[in-house]
Amino acid sequence: MTPFSIVYTKTPNHTVDLLILPISKSRVAENLADRITKTLVEVKTKLEEANAKYKLDADKHRRSKNFNVGDLVMVHLRKERFPLGTYNKLRSKKFGPYRIKREIGDNAYVLELPADLHISPTSNITDLYEYFPPDDAPVIIDNSGASSS
């Protein structure tokens, strides 16, 4: 579905659709019309194949993220998300952890953000990262095998 078809509730006319091809008895004209039609069909299939290949290549690097309501996530806040004059490029890029309040479709979530951030609580899934709490277990270093010389 294209933006044109959404706005005008019909598919846009192509140049071939605008041509009024008279029914002629000329064999040359019929051959030309057939060649143009075959070329357009071939171009359409090549474009569909290329788009499928591009999608396949892009999906190789894409990881699916699934979060549930109530999960803790880190959110990556881009410069555009901050109110004018409050962004600092030396500031941390990931903020959180914040709890997911609700899910909007497959790729957007509403987060429980603090009010002092003054930004929209809705975030795209590409800006969300799983939160891993810090490991508070003490680190034990065993020096019994080391020589004291």
Compute the chain's Rg from CA coordinates. 29
Separation of alpha carbons 142 and 133, rounded Å: 25
93-129: pLDDT as tens digits: 888 899 999 999 888 999 999 888 788 899 999 899 9
108 - beta bridge partners?
Answer: 104, 124
Mean pLDDT over residues 18-29, rounded? 72
pLDDT band at 141 (very low <50, low <70, confident <90, very high): low
48-80: pLDDT as tens digits: 999 999 999 988 887 778 899 999 999 988 877
Q: Where are the alpha helices (DSSP H) in 25-66?
A: 27-61
Q: What angle do CA 6, 8, 14 make, to 5 degrees?
A: 95
**Domain boundaries in the chain?**
3-61, 72-130
Separation of alpha carbons 107 and 127, rounded Å: 10
pTM, 2 dp: 0.53
